[in-house]
Amino acid sequence: MMIKRLCRILMAGLSGLFLACVRPVPFSCAEEAPVILGDEQFNEYLPLLEGKRAALFTNHSGIVGDKTDGSVVPDGQQPDLIPFGRDVRGNEVTGGQHILDALLEREVNVTAVFSPEHGFRGTADAGESVDSSVDEQTGVPLLSLFYEGSHYPSPESMECFDTLVVDIQDVGLRFYTYHLTLYYLMDACAQNDKDVIILDRPNPNGFYVDGPILRPEFASGVGLLPIPVVYGMTLGELAGMINGEGWLEAGKDACSLTVIPCRNYTHQTKASLIRNPSPNLKDMRAVYLYASVCFFENTACSVGRGTEYPFEVYGSPYLENEETCDFTFIPVSMPGAAAPLYEGVLCHGYDLRTKPLQMIWEEGIHLEYLIQAWKAVKKAHPEVSFFGVPDEKGRYWIDKLSGTDQVRLMIEAGKTAEEIKAAWQDEIRLFKEQRKPYLLYKE
């Protein structure tokens, strides 16, 4: 792997305070060292940008030095329910400097900004096409990589820079598309002799690995790489694996890659974000539940898009007679969720907002939600196709999300959640061995 320069990694235990898009977590000790993000380590990467034209891959989450007031979580407070952008007392988080402004202030020649799904400001709907534009404050071109189905940078855009700088907050799930945009950018940089510098950030779901490995025949816009649904790596680590395993079209070790790792971070660090990474992940509970609840997308159940708590609830009009459904909601059109599923229709379902975080962490991908809803809809409304309509290749959306048709087929065959999860344990063990050379942080 052609990683030209790695700064030293300082290992430590759990952190009490995270900088730039992270906040205190309740089980950390005040005396433990804070996590220092890659983008804060200017001395490590600014020399690499001297005399270079730099492009950025970032969005609204690329904030350098965001800080809370450092207070501990009050007794009885649910830290996972603190809305993004607020500290534990409900006050607005001190706004930090965006990486674009920080680089311009330090006289780096930034010639373009590439943005992923949801756009540079992170407000567009899931899958919504976003036009390129110009940042009004700085005059720097904003080049959308989520435009009319195209996610690969144009030849013209590759001519405007020498080095790509990556600073974006990911959530560590295969169907979350930011790492796919990074993959395309890395491939384009490899084919056009451009350097890539990744300013690494914590992965809030980086403390476990779960889910089936994606099969090539199920590759799509929500899954491309042969990795599990929850892969337990930061963007910097995953980029090293992409490069070293030869997954780029340009070939093995084709990308000239530099990673600036976080300091004082391990894979057991529970990084609690303070800025929403995308419109429908509105607090940390949603970030943790996303790996399980996202399987409801494009089924007969809503994931709560069009409410104030997406991915923390699920429900359907077809569950109206299910006795255990003690929660109702009505989706409405709102920013980030225009024309949501079942807009204006009463949905009966389940509220997961009181489920203990420790239980969510221990369960990992929890298929009981999906199996229970499938059984209930099938019993009450056998005429309804719970998993929707397959594409021209016979693939249902859940097949694309899970990277295989086996999850759906096993559910339809009446298998339990335990049986389904047992089916992917061997490949998880193989993946963990495969990723070891690329890990930058202690497990």
Largest Cα span, the chain = 67
Between 269 and 2, whose confidence is greater? 269
Residue 116 banded pLDDT, cuts 50, 70, 90? confident
Architecture of the domain whose range is 284-412: Alpha-Beta Complex (3.90)
Among 48-52, 250-254, 334-338, name the one with the lowest average pLDDT: 334-338
Domain ranges of the chain: 22-277, 284-412
168, 62 in Cβ contact below 8 A? yes
pLDDT of residue 33: 81
Rg of the chain's alpha carbons, rounded to an integer? 21
* Mean pLDDT within 398-420: 98
Architecture of the domain whose range is 22-277: 3-Layer(aba) Sandwich (3.40)
pLDDT of residue 10: 32
Could you read off the pLDDT of 362-374 as tens digits, one per residue? 999 999 999 999 9
pLDDT of residue 148: 64
Could you read off the pLDDT of 138-174 as tens digits, one per residue? 899 999 887 766 688 999 999 999 999 999 999 999 9
* Mean pLDDT within 307-333: 96
* Mean pLDDT within 119-134: 67
Six-digit token pair at 136?
């009004």
Q: By CB neighbour count within 10 A (0-12 exposed, 13-18 middle, 19+ buried), where does 106 fall?
A: exposed
Q: Is the per-residue pLDDT at 17 higher than 60?
A: no
* Mean pLDDT within 415-434: 98
3-state secondary structure 249-262: CCCCCCCEEEEECC
Q: Is the per-residue pLDDT at 6 higher than 80?
A: no
d(CA 75, CA 68): 18
**Unique residue bearing structure tokens 């070891």:** 436
Three-class SS state of 182: helix
Could you read off the pLDDT of 378-404 as tens digits, one per residue? 999 999 999 999 999 999 999 999 999
d(CA 30, CA 71): 9
Look up residue 312 and give its amino acid: E
pLDDT of residue 118: 67
* Mean pLDDT within 74-85: 59
pLDDT of residue 304: 98
pLDDT of residue 88: 62
Nearest to 125 by CA among 334, 400, 401, 343: 334
pLDDT of residue 3: 44
Residue partners of 416: CB distance under 8 A and separation at least 6: 371
pLDDT of residue 191: 97
pLDDT of residue 1: 43
- Fold: same for 22-277 and 284-412: no
The dihedral through the CA atoms of 363, 304, 169, 91 has a sign that is negative
Question: How many C-beta atoms lie closer than 10 Å to residue 111's C-beta?
Answer: 17
pLDDT of residue 149: 64
d(CA 22, CA 319): 38
In the DSSP assignment, the letter for residue 46 is G
Among 112-126, 145-159, 286-300, 419-433, name the one with the lowest average pLDDT: 112-126
* Mean pLDDT within 22-50: 73
Three-class SS state of 316: strand
pTM listed for this prediction: 0.89
For 149, left (φ over 0), alpha (ψ -120 to 50), or beta?
left
The pLDDT > 90 percentage for the chain reads: 72
Among 39-53, 113-127, 283-297, name the one with the lowest average pLDDT: 113-127
Could you read off the pLDDT of 346-361 as tens digits, one per residue? 999 999 999 999 999 9
pLDDT of residue 120: 76
Residue 73 banded pLDDT, cuts 50, 70, 90? very low
Q: Is the per-residue pLDDT at 271 higher than 50?
A: yes
Among 8-17, 104-113, 329-338, name the one with the lowest average pLDDT: 8-17
pLDDT of residue 68: 42
d(CA 223, CA 144): 20
